[in-house]
């Protein structure tokens, strides 16, 4: 299953969202995104998902390497995008909290398993985060 996620950057911080307690992996933090629909490009999927989940628009800056993660019940190919936030009011629809997290504080949060691997990639790719990107 192809799943997109957005690393939305604002002044060396990344937007994290926490899954609502009524969802699977409840209470875990994740980078917002979701499933790619059949026939949909990952780029279109990330823009659609961010609009649906947060009510905001993003501009794609860069596609990061795909990551594969095996959950017990299924396998996902996580397709991460580094994105710029097009300022607007965030309206949570699938999550119960959001936070602008400094890159060096990402490991303080309890992340979904696939997103933990993405955090390792981010930490190994710090050149993306040297100073404000936007």
State residue 84's pLDDT score.
Answer: 92
Task: Count CA atoms closer than 13 A to 6's CA, side-chain side.
Answer: 32
CATH number for the domain harbouring residue 116: 3.90.79.10
pLDDT in tens, 50-97: 999 999 999 999 999 999 999 888 899 999 999 998 888 999 988 899
Sign of CA dihedral 98, 103, 109, 110: positive
Neighbours of 98 (CB within 10 A): 17
- Output phi, psi for 121, to 5 deg: -65, -45
CA distance 31 to 41: 19
**Residue 134 falls within a domain, yes or no?**
no
The whole domain housing 99 covers 2-129
Token pair recorded at residue 101? 């997290």
Domain count, the chain: 1
Residue 35 falls inside a structural domain: yes
**How does pLDDT run across 37-60, given as a tens digit for each residue?**
999 999 999 999 999 999 999 999
């Amino acid at each position: 299953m192809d799943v997109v996620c957005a690393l939305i950057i604002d002044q060396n911080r990344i937007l994290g969202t926490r899954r609502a307690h009524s969802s699977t992996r409840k209470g875990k933090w994740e980078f917002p995104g979701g499933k790619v629909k059949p026939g949909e490009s990952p780029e279109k999927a990330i823009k659609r998902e961010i609009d649906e989940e947060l009510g905001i628009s993003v501009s794609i800056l860069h596609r990061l390497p795909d990551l594969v993660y095996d959950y017990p019940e299924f396998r996902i190919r996580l397709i991460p995008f580094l994105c710029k936030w097009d300022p607007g009011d965030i309206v949570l629809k699938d999550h119960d909290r959001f936070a602008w997290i400094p890159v060096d504080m990402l490991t303080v949060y309890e992340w979904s398993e696939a997103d933990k691997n993405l955090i390792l990639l981010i930490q190994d790719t710090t050149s993306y985060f040297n100073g404000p990107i936007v």
